[in-house]
Amino acid sequence: MTQKGPMEAESADRVSKKWLILANVSVGTFMATLDGSIANVGLPTIASSMHIPLHVVQWVVSAYLLTICAMLPLVGNLADRFGRGRLYNIGFLVFAGGSALCGLSPNISMLIVSRILQAIGASLLMANSQALVVMTFPLHQRGRAFGITGTMVSLGSLTGPAVGGLLIGYFGWPSIFWVNVPIGIIGFVLGLFLLPKGKPESATVSRFDYPGSVLFVVGIVLLLYTVSNGDVWGWTATRSWLGIVVAMLVLAGFGIRERMAKNPIIDFGLYKHRLFATGSIAAMLSFVSLFCINTMMPFYLEDVLHASPQVTGTVMMANPVAMAVIAPLSGWLSDKIGPYVLTTAGLALNAAGFLLLTLLSQTAPVWLVGLHLAIFGIGQGMFQSPNNSSLMSTAPRAKAGLVGGLNALVRNIGMVLGIALSVSLFSNRLFAATGTRASGALTNVPLSAMMSALHVVFWAAAFVCIVGAITSSLRGSPRKLQSAH
């Protein structure tokens, strides 16, 4: 019997460790994705229990996404100084601590502040997960590793609505945050033993662009905060238009700064590529429309159809379930025919889905609502995989991480804008119909007024999808795309 040498034993240990590292990264990916989908289902219950208006409770989700938008471009630079494994593991601890504070929050102010802390942890996890996979796996195994992390993203979005609905129904809304605490603690403890602790081996670490980072954070936060409050303040109010003007000036200053900086936070040269520019804009518009559904459908199901949180969560699973089935098929098909047809058709199908939503009544059966939501899963599945593949194909291999970060940034900005658009239109139409600002569970609002307001949101989201489909079609014809690849 041949005895293994020390090199072979060491090799076996390394093989075992890299898959354990992937398992740890998958846990963080699952947790961050799960939390976003859980929180949307809880909004009606939180609004009712705290007796707060719709435009306030939206900040439970908006504050989380806005913070991630501000943090994502900065975290990559920090990881170059302190180590990706170290920052990723700190992300576990910060996320778990923020989740615990969310569960303990006695009022909406503390809940929103706790969500901001939670988002800081999530940004540390999101920004470093792909880099850890690249650091751990050789080139011929990365596709398999990224496939596993991609599956965890789908599982997080799949289980979030159902788990959230069940937890809220049986244990109350704080439980949707407490569920993250044991997952975060386990991930942190395992990370202490598994994740690389050293700094990057590169001898030349670029100087951090502090002026650019300040301009970006101030500009993006001011813009998204103003847009999210436009309905409450009034779009013609001085602070609304002044906030938007100042934010745009600051972001313009950020753009000028980045063009002159030796080590820019965002490489705007990427947007000179037609495929990247059109794909990024189309992706943002797709998430604007998607979060019109995620924000409004729980209110339709619970306040109009009087469905329980458990039923609401189960019905809303139709969207990610359909997407999980279609996305791998569309990814395989895009390798054969390119992304042009699939991305454009996917957004066009979503536009048709929103038009169908305007036909739903006050007495629609919940299974019919689920079928409508499945249409969006099919459309989003047709769009996402080919669009991501198209975006990643435009960047040099050395900038793959940067492109992934920008893709995540665009996605989160679209989510914030989708929440702001849907809540603003919904609240505005309710106020026009009733003359009062609705709050809490909306039990005092006539159902006819609610349905009318929801239809306005669905029409607007359909228009966004149509614009997205047109933008996606501008990436070029299939023949041009093949020559570009």
Domain match, 229 and 319 both: no
Q: What's the pLDDT score for residue 475?
A: 75
Examine residue 483 and state whether it is found in any structural domain, yes or no.
no
Among the candidates 171, 198, 225, a domain finishes at 198
Distance of alpha carbon 163 from alpha carbon 313, whole angstroms: 7
Domain match, 295 and 395 both: yes
Distance of alpha carbon 347 from alpha carbon 354, whole angstroms: 11
Q: What's the pLDDT score for residue 110?
A: 92
Distance of alpha carbon 47 from alpha carbon 437, whole angstroms: 13
Q: What's the pLDDT score for residue 395?
A: 60
Q: Which residue has the tokens 């989708």?
A: 418
Among the candidates 178, 198, 218, a domain finishes at 198
Domain match, 124 and 191 both: yes
Model confidence at 482: pLDDT above 60: no
Helical axes 6-50 vs 59-82, angle rounded to 10°: 150
Nearest residue to 346 (alpha-carbon basis) of 460, 459, 458, 466: 466
Examine residue 66 and state whether it is found in any structural domain, yes or no.
yes
Positive or negative torsion for Cα 267, 269, 273, 274: positive
Max Cα–Cα distance, the chain, nearest Å: 86
How confident is the model over 385-396, as pLDDT tens digits? 777 767 666 666
Task: Give the residue-averaged pLDDT of 325-347.
Answer: 78
What CATH number did the domain enclosing 322 receive?
1.20.1250.20
Domain match, 79 and 41 both: yes
Cβ contacts of 480 within 8 Å, gap of 6 or more: none
Distance of alpha carbon 92 from alpha carbon 89, whole angstroms: 5
Average pLDDT, the chain: 77
Examine residue 80 and state whether it is found in any structural domain, yes or no.
yes
Domain match, 36 and 147 both: yes
Among the candidates 262, 285, 306, a domain finishes at 262
| pTM for the predicted model, two decimal places | 0.73
Q: Collapse the DSSP code of 289 into the 3-class scheme (helix H, G, I; strand E, B; otherwise coil) and give the result.
A: helix
How confident is the model over 67-103, as pLDDT tens digits? 887 777 777 666 656 667 777 888 889 999 999 999 9
Task: Give the residue-averaged pLDDT of 151-156.
Answer: 65
Examine residue 290 and state whether it is found in any structural domain, yes or no.
yes
Model confidence at 218: pLDDT above 60: yes
Domain match, 339 and 364 both: yes
How confident is the model over 164-211, as pLDDT tens digits? 878 888 888 898 899 888 888 888 888 777 776 655 554 445 566 678
Nearest residue to 135 (alpha-carbon basis) of 69, 183, 87, 68: 87
Domains of the chain: total: 3
Going from the C-alpha of 387 to that of each of 68, 338, 408, the distances in angstroms are 22, 10, 13
Helical axes 318-337 vs 339-357, angle rounded to 10°: 150
Q: Collapse the DSSP code of 3 into the 3-class scheme (helix H, G, I; strand E, B; otherwise coil) and give the result.
A: coil
Task: Give the residue-averaged pLDDT of 348-369.
Answer: 89
Which structural domain range is residue 28 located in?
15-198
Model confidence at 262: pLDDT above 90: no
Query: Which of 89-98, 126-135, 253-262, 411-420 shows the lowest per-residue confidence on average (mean pLDDT)?
Result: 126-135
Task: Give the residue-averaged pLDDT of 356-365.
Answer: 87
* Burial of 333 (C-beta count, 10 Å sphere; 0-12/13-18/19+): middle
Cβ contacts of 204 within 8 Å, gap of 6 or more: none
How confident is the model over 225-234, as pLDDT tens digits? 787 677 677 7
